[in-house]
Amino acid sequence: MWRDLKPIGRNPGSGGYRRFAWTGADAECRAWFEEQARARGLAYEVDRNGNQWAWLGDPADGDAVVTGSHLDSVPDGGAFDGPLGVVSSFAALDELRSRNVQFSKPLAIVNFGDEEGARFGLACVGSRLAAGQLTVEQAHRLRDADGVSLPEAMEAAGFDPDVIGADPERLARIGAFVELHVEQGRALDLSGDRVGLASAIWPHGRWRFDFRGEANHAGTTRLVDRRDPMLSYAETVLTARREAQLASAVATFGKISVEPNGVNAIPSLVRGWLDSRAADQASLDTVVSGIEQAAREHADAHGVELDVVRESFTPVVEFDHALRDELARILGTDTDLKVPVLGTGAGHDAGILSGTIPTAMLFVRNPTGVSHSPAEYATEDDCVAGVLALADVLEGLARR
Ligand SMILES: [Zn+2]
């Protein structure tokens, strides 16, 4: 399966992947999924939001056990984020068939569309639409960098955009959704474990900091006469690092815009975007209010004005405790495998669906901790350990 997927959407320059929603590379990935489903005699269907499903057993029976992930990528992304979950799902089913497992519940493998949001700027569009967390009107307003709207892109790819929208009947047939994913950090590498269980997705948000000073000549303006917003901004970046460290959180200024943006001009405006995430809401509040308060002091010290605007916010996602305990119990029976429980700072379809159905996640060790880059990696042995853990989980859930 890896061999088949390897060339699809690969950028020869960077070695990374460009599998954006409703493009040619995406269509090739989707054709691969359909082929895998049909080769295993699974019933294949595409739902009204473009998500692909492969069923074993009758979905109408309800309480289905579903696993899967996504096949799209960020710009120049790695091979594992998404595809590892889909490939492992098919491999786990093969493993269960070789064990002759009889299921008392329907089982399905899913490929959620447009998880990364690389093209239209919003992540998890397929699962958000299905769960009713993105309205049809909002979806119709999404546009890519060339001005192509989501419905136009869907139509160009041969999909009917008029049927998109919340799909409660479909989700109501699912009793549990388990997503396997490559870890996007180094917790498993540091603890020496191959596989981990997710506890929660950290709350996270984005804030815009506008530092306004006074543009002036870089050569003729005395230092004492300046109102330089770059200084306040720079001090705030260092504060953000310190505050995050104190709270065991993360805080990043990764984007900046400067006016007038001239080499020989003191800036009039420095606009910086803060991305911050923490294990819980209280820690995140502490970090961000600490940064904001320090930024005001830094601004005052330089005669600079400051506006802070929260541009987006996603609260904590706690995965279903009963399902997580059950997975821990199933995996705990294998004494070779101790399964640590970890939080994550990244969003996933499983997080979106957790508001509607019980969901859980398995992470596979990533020795570099790097993701969303061609350096993203998992060893073959660890991938196999992930497949076996997923097979055990599906077997335990589908027979209960
Ligand atoms: Zn992913």
Domains in the chain: how many in total? 2
Judged by average pLDDT, the poorest of 67-76, 311-320, 331-340 is 331-340
* Statement to judge: residues 329 and 278 lie in one domain: no
3-state DSSP assignment of residue 216: strand
Q: Which two tokens stand for residue 310?
A: 């929260």
d(CA 75, CA 265): 34
| CA 115 to ligand 1 center in whole angstroms | 7
* Statement to judge: residues 110 and 249 lie in one domain: no
- Torsions phi, psi of 162, nearest 5? -70, -15
pLDDT tens digit sequence for 171-190: 999 999 999 999 999 999 99
* Statement to judge: residues 224 and 331 lie in one domain: no
* Statement to judge: residues 178 and 221 lie in one domain: no
Of 314, 341, 372, which closes a domain? 314
- How far lies 347's CA from each of 37, 87, 104, 238, 323, in Å? 27, 20, 32, 26, 19
Distance of CA 4 to the CA centre of its chain: 24
* Statement to judge: residues 50 and 188 lie in one domain: yes
The pLDDT of residue 334 is above 60:
no
- How far lies 51's CA from each of 149, 161, 170, 336, in Å? 18, 13, 11, 36
* Statement to judge: residues 197 and 239 lie in one domain: no
Whether 362 and 197 have beta carbons less than 8 Å apart is answered as yes
- Torsions phi, psi of 252, nearest 5? -140, 125
Read off the pLDDT band of 224 (50, 70, 90).
very high
pLDDT at 101: 93
Q: Could you list the beta-strand ranges (E) of 71-165.
A: 107-112
CATH label of the domain that carries residue 48: 3.40.630.10
| CA 92 to ligand 1 center in whole angstroms | 19
pLDDT at 51: 97
Q: Which two tokens stand for residue 376?
A: 């993203």
Whether 345 and 372 have beta carbons less than 8 Å apart is answered as no
- Torsions phi, psi of 93, nearest 5? -65, -40
d(CA 119, CA 134): 16
d(CA 154, CA 158): 7
| CA 347 to ligand 1 center in whole angstroms | 8
Kindly report the average pLDDT of the chain as a whole number.
95
Strands 195-201 and 204-212: unpaired
Of 294, 314, 334, which closes a domain? 314
* Statement to judge: residues 321 and 278 lie in one domain: no
Range of 51's domain?
Answer: 2-202+316-399
| CA 70 to ligand 1 center in whole angstroms | 7
Of 314, 344, 364, which closes a domain? 314
3-state DSSP assignment of residue 146: coil
| CA 81 to ligand 1 center in whole angstroms | 4
| CA 267 to ligand 1 center in whole angstroms | 39
User: What average pLDDT does this structure show over 275-279?
Assistant: 94
pLDDT tens digit sequence for 126-144: 999 999 999 999 999 999 9
* Statement to judge: residues 181 and 241 lie in one domain: no
* Statement to judge: residues 213 and 188 lie in one domain: no
pLDDT at 335: 45
Rounded to a whole number of angstroms, the distance between the first and last alpha carbons of the chain is 30
The crossing angle, in degrees rounded to 10, of helices 83-98 and 380-399 is: 60
pLDDT at 247: 95
Please give the model's pTM, rounded to 2 decimal places: 0.87
CATH label of the domain that carries residue 251: 3.30.70.360
Max distance between CA atoms of the chain, in angstroms, equals 82
* Statement to judge: residues 69 and 167 lie in one domain: yes
* Statement to judge: residues 293 and 333 lie in one domain: no
* Statement to judge: residues 235 and 366 lie in one domain: no
User: What average pLDDT does this structure show over 332-355?
Assistant: 81
pLDDT at 336: 52
| CA 162 to ligand 1 center in whole angstroms | 27
pLDDT tens digit sequence for 71-116: 999 999 999 999 999 999 999 999 999 999 999 999 999 999 999 9
